[in-house]
Structure 1
Amino acid sequence: MAELWLSTRLVGPLAVVLAGGEVDLGSSPDLRDHLLAVLCHLGPWLVLDLTRVTFVDSSGLAVLVDFWRRARAAGGELFLVGPSGAVARKLEVTGLDRRLAVCPDVDSVLESLPASCSGPHRSAGQEPGGA
Structure 2
Amino acid sequence: MKLPYRVAFGACIFVSTAAVTPDMLPLNKGIYVPAGKACKGASNADMVNYWGGKSAIGVAQATCTIKKLSRKGKAFTITDECRDLQSGDLIEGGPTLLTINDPSNFRMNGTTYRYCGPKVQF
TM-score w.r.t. the length of structure 2 is 0.28
Larger strand share, 1 or 2: 2
Larger helix share, 1 or 2: 1
* Structure with bigger RCO (C-alpha 8 Å, 6+ apart): 1
TM-score w.r.t. the length of structure 1 is 0.27
**Higher CA-based Rg:** 2
